[in-house]
Amino acid sequence: MSITWKNIADRSQNKIIMDNPFGYYPLNDEVLRVLSDEGTIIIRGVDGKINKYMKNLEAIAETAGLNLTNKQRILSKGYLHTNGTTPIKSEFIDKYEFKRKSE
C-alpha cells in the first residue's frame, strides 16, 4: 500500500505521530518527505515479531537519517488495533521517538 500526501509540502511537518501502523511501513518515503529538518516521528505499536511493519525500525531509521532519541515499553491499555475497535492483546507496546539528523 502506498501512502501519498500531495497537499502537504516537503519538510513541513515538525511532528508526526503514528499509533500501531499496520499495512504500511511507518518510515516510508512519503513520511520522510514531509518531516521537517529537526522534526520528530513518534511511533507506537506492537513488537516487530508480531507486527512486521514495526520490524527493524531502528536500523531503518538510521539508514533514513534519523536518530533514536527515546525508546520505551508502555502498557497497551487504551490502544486499539488498526480497525479502531479491538483492543491490542499484547500487554505492552513499543514507543519510539526519532529525530531527523541535522544536515
The mean pLDDT value for 45-66 works out to: 94
Strand order in the sheet with 13-19: 13-19, 35-45, 92-100, 66-75
pTM of the predicted structure, to 2 decimals: 0.88
Task: Fold for 13-100, please state it.
Answer: Rossmann fold (3.40.50)
Tens digits of residue pLDDT in 58-69: 999 999 999 999
Percent pLDDT > 90 in the chain is: 76
Tens digits of residue pLDDT in 67-82: 999 999 999 999 888 7
- pLDDT exceeds cutoff 70 at 35: yes
Q: What is the DSSP string of 56-97?
A: THHHHHHHTTEEEEEEEEEE-TT-B-TTSSSBP-SSEEEEEE
Break the chain into its structural domains and give their ranges.
13-100
